[in-house]
Amino acid sequence: MTTHGGGDALFGNEDIAAQVSPDTDVQSAGVVDVSAIDPVLSDPDAVAEVVAPTRDIDTAVGEALLRTENLSVKFGGLVALDSVSFEIRRGEILGLIGPNGAGKTTCFNAITGVYKPSSGTVYFDGAPLTKTKRNAITRLGIARTFQNIRLFSEMTALENVVVGTDARHKTSVPGAIFRTSRHRREERDAIERGMALLEFVGIAPRAVEKAKNLSYGDQRRLEIARALATEPKLLCLDEPAAGFNPAEKSALMDLIRKIRDDGFTVLLIEHDMRLVMGVTDRIVVLEFGKKIADDLPAAIRENPSVIAAYLGVPDDGANEVTGDATNASA
């Protein structure tokens, strides 16, 4: 069953399972005049400069920022990921695609510390992530969004983003209790950066609205803003277009490109093949937990193994496929 949610986005069973509900009539907290708060926010170039990461990155642009080496994940007797090796180069948008059950999210979770690999290694910015805890992985510079939106629903949009900035704060608990000068400075900087991030993703006028009252599309954008607030070296987006209509998907593609152009590296898992083909620089394809292709979008589109994986065509007939694999859903 599918209905329409916020922003006319499609609203399906997956969203119902995730306890996301279509917009209901609620009293708006009002919109914010961002230029009145800070004139800088009315200048897109100035906003992009504020949002741009300032972190020290050892990896040069174009070199492998993240690399998996024979990465495997097993759940009992089930091999969800089987000796997968690939790299994400600094400054690119890499798409990770494959049919349902291919191992995409498992790979994503192994990279971000949700799952512990059964074997193999993930290298990030020149160092292995072996036994690194999830919070430490965030501090090292890997941020992610989720298939199912995970916001603090009773907090405002701005408060949600400010939570993300805390990953870079150095104030101790006593310092926060006694409101030391460092704590006050970090708090002020977090609010300013939070507003800039909301403007960057296009929802700054809704800064004082509770997250639960935002449209579905704006909640997706808010989650991206919160991830960016951690100042990541690598931003991992897990199906960010889920539930979007075509207009929203087009706007999301523009946002992802803007994020890359602002100095971030992006790993994208997405079901919508048109979006993937339109926004990525390179694509890695998984099937049954194995990597079957790693190439430019144009080459992936014509790859017989990829076409067969999506359309279920036997290997001996893959070359005879005339359909377009981009019409298939991941």
Summarize the confidence of residues 150-160 as an average pLDDT. Answer: 89
pLDDT of residue 53: 81
Model confidence at 123: pLDDT above 80: yes
pLDDT band at 176 (very low <50, low <70, confident <90, very high): low
328 in Cβ contact with 312 (< 8 Å): no
287 in Cβ contact with 307 (< 8 Å): no
Model confidence at 204: pLDDT above 70: yes
260 in Cβ contact with 55 (< 8 Å): no
Instruction: Spell out the domains of the chain, with CATH numbers in brackets.
Output: 60-141+232-330 (3.40.50.300)
Model confidence at 240: pLDDT above 70: yes
**Of all residues in the chain, what percent carry a pLDDT higher than 90?**
52
Q: Per mean pLDDT, which range of 68-72, 227-231, 271-275, 286-290 is the poorest?
A: 271-275
pLDDT of residue 305: 92
Summarize the confidence of residues 194-214 as an average pLDDT. Answer: 93
Secondary structure of 61-125 in the HEC alphabet?
CCCEEEEEEEEEEEECCEEEEEEEEEEEECCCEEEEECCCCCCHHHHHHHHHCCCCCCEEEEEEC
DSSP secondary-structure letter at 290?
Answer: E
**Of all residues in the chain, what percent carry a pLDDT higher than 70?**
78
pLDDT of residue 271: 82
Summarize the confidence of residues 298-321 as an average pLDDT. Answer: 72
Spatial separation of the C-alpha atoms in residues 309 and 259, rounded to whole Å: 31
R_g of the chain, CA atoms, integer Å: 20
Model confidence at 278: pLDDT above 90: yes
pLDDT of residue 165: 79
pTM above 0.75, yes or no: yes
pLDDT of residue 314: 52
Nearest CA-CA partner of 18 in 108, 112, 150, 143:
150
